[in-house]
């Protein structure tokens, strides 16, 4: 019977209306019969007063009459609604258990958990592919600092934010037909003239930006075409330039040049440093129940979002549960030889504030030797899960075997989403959160 308390049954509210009406009605009787509001005496003498004492015309009596009328109205409404709720699902042959079951089946949809994912590149799109299958209201906030490939060319030619990472997130959340997904991801091969190397989805976003005159509006319109589950928002409505200070003192400008440069990164910044965050992104963060940073390149996908002052402040002050998702493998030129805790430490160093992340998601599944050797040839190593050091930074490790069953050492979308939502469901006592939706 405890299920009668579940949201959407439409019984609890009318029971409360009835109770409220009874309380207001009782208060009205007391005011009418005892203007001095001597409650203990009035409660047991109410019937005697009804028979012996005329109703006084005074302010308490007027208030009492109003309370009686309001109370009767509330009781009438509540009773009629309760009767309607039962008669809609009952018939003479229906048992009490069957009535409850039908009410559960016809209850209003439960409110969805508001989840905000922050990042860029393939990492954020991987997270979104997993989360979109659960009953959550998704918002992706995507970096706009890419300056390479098709995105970089469109950024330069059209003076617009780079569309590549946003396109990947749109496709990850899309409910469109598989052919439409392939269309948006199609990259033109050499000898294609001016569109050589461009991705069709990038060109469509650029074209929509020309039509609407606004990049964020263009992303909204393309979202409708792809029937996206959720929202995809750029972190800012203009392109950002990354600047990295290297261990040898050099300052390298541009994401592509930073990744290609040999040597360790000491710190990173954005230009302009005071760029305003997209207002819709800030609102999504403020209203979020859960905020997830990552997975993705720490310096080129994650930090560019948090280096926007308004964005960092919004994440720090948000009341949501906050997760940092660590990469599975290190990245050459960015996180060489980084352990899991070092990824988090770098982010915190750039925030210049207390750790806003309550949890850090860490993969414990070591890739096969064959896969590790392939990555080793590229200078990439398995990220060691140093859980004690993570706790020392103020975050609780959330661990699991999170790798996809493939020849690449990457997160499995469903395993990653389930790992995070299991922890969320424990914290807010919402087991239905783990039930996948169609």
Split at pLDDT 50, 70, 90, the class of 67 is: low
Judge whether residue 1 has pLDDT over 50.
no
* C-alpha pair distances (Å), 333 with each of 39, 266, 351, 372: 77, 11, 21, 18
As a whole number of angstroms, the distance between CA 309 and CA 319 comes to 18
> Domains of the chain, with CATH numbers?
2-106 (no CATH), 113-144+235-434 (3.40.50.10680)
- What's the whole-model pTM score? 0.76
Question: In this predicted model, which residue has the larger pLDDT, 260 or 114?
Answer: 114
Judge whether residue 367 has pLDDT over 90.
yes
Would residue 189 be called left, alpha or beta, if left means φ above 0 and alpha means ψ between -120 and 50 degrees?
Answer: beta
Q: What SS3 class is residue 355?
A: coil
* C-alpha pair distances (Å), 15 with each of 11, 26, 77, 362: 6, 17, 10, 46
**Average pLDDT taken over every residue of the chain:** 83
As a whole number of angstroms, the distance between CA 267 and CA 260 comes to 16
Judge whether residue 90 has pLDDT over 60.
no
DSSP string, 141-194: EE-----SHHHHHHHHHHT----HHHHHHHHHHB-S-HHHHHHHH-BPPTTSGG
As a whole number of angstroms, the distance between CA 109 and CA 102 comes to 14
438: Cα separation from own chain's centroid: 19
**Sign of torsion, CA 405 231 219 275?**
negative
Name every residue whose Cβ is closer than 8 Å to that of residue 1 and which is 6 or more positions away in sequence.
100
- Residue 283 contacts residue 318 (beta carbons within 8 Å): no
- Residue 359 contacts residue 396 (beta carbons within 8 Å): yes
**pLDDT of res. 23:** 72
Split at pLDDT 50, 70, 90, the class of 333 is: confident
**pLDDT of res. 87:** 59
3-state SS record for 389-400: HHHHCCCEEEEE
Split at pLDDT 50, 70, 90, the class of 170 is: very high
Question: In this predicted model, which residue has the larger pLDDT, 364 or 82?
Answer: 364
As a whole number of angstroms, the distance between CA 127 and CA 110 comes to 23
- Residue 333 contacts residue 383 (beta carbons within 8 Å): no
DSSP string, 26-55: HHHHHHHH-TT--HHHHHHHHHHHHHHSPP
ω before 295 within 30° of 0 (cis)?
yes
């Amino acid at each position: 019977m405890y299920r009668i308390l579940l949201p959407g049954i439409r019984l609890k509210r009318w029971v409360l209306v009835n109770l409220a009406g009874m309380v207001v009605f009782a208060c009205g009787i007391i005011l009418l019969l005892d203007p001095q509001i001597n409650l203990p005496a009035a409660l047991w003498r109410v019937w005697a007063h009804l028979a012996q004492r005329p109703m006084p015309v005074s302010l308490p009596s007027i208030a009492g009459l109003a309370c009686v009328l309001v109370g009767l109205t509330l009781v009438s409404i509540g009773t009629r609604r309760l009767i309607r709720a039962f008669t809609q699902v009952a018939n003479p042959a229906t048992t009490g258990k069957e009535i409850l079951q039908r009410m559960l089946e016809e209850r209003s949809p439960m409110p969805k958990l508001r989840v905000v994912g922050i990042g860029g590149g393939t990492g954020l799109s991987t997270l979104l592919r997993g989360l979109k299958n659960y009953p959550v209201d998704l918002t992706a906030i995507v970096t706009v600092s890419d300056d390479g490939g098709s995105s970089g060319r469109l950024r330069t030619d059209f003076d617009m934010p780079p569309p590549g990472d946003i396109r990947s997130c749109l496709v990850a959340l899309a409910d469109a037909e598989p052919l439409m997904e392939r269309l948006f991801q199609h990259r033109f091969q050499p000898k294609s003239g001016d569109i050589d190397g461009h991705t069709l989805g990038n060109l469509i976003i650029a074209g929509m930006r020309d039509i609407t005159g606004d990049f964020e509006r263009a992303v909204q319109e393309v979202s409708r075409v792809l029937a996206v589950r959720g929202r995809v928002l750029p972190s800012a409505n203009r392109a950002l330039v990354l600047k990295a200070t290297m261990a040898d003192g050099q300052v390298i400008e541009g994401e592509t040049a930073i990744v290609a440069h040999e040597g360790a990164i000491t710190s990173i910044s954005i230009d302009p440093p005071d760029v305003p965050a997209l207002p819709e992104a800030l609102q999504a963060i403020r209203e979020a129940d859960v905020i997830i940073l990552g997975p993705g390149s720490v310096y080129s996908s994650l930090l560019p979002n948090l280096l926007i002052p308004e964005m960092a402040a919004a994440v720090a002050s948000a009341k949501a549960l906050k997760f940092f998702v660590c990469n599975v493998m290190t990245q050459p030129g960015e996180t060489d030889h980084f352990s899991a805790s070092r990824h988090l430490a770098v982010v915190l160093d750039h925030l210049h504030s207390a750790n806003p992340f309550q949890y850090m998601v860490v993969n414990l599944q070591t890739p096969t030797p064959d896969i590790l050797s392939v990555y080793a040839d590229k200078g990439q190593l398995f990220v060691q899960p140093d859980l004690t050091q993570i706790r020392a930074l103020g975050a609780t490790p959330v661990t699991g075997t999170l790798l996809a069953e493939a020849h690449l050492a990457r997160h499995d979308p469903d395993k990653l989403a389930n790992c995070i939502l299991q922890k969320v469901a424990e914290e807010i006592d919402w087991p239905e959160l783990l039930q996948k939706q169609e």
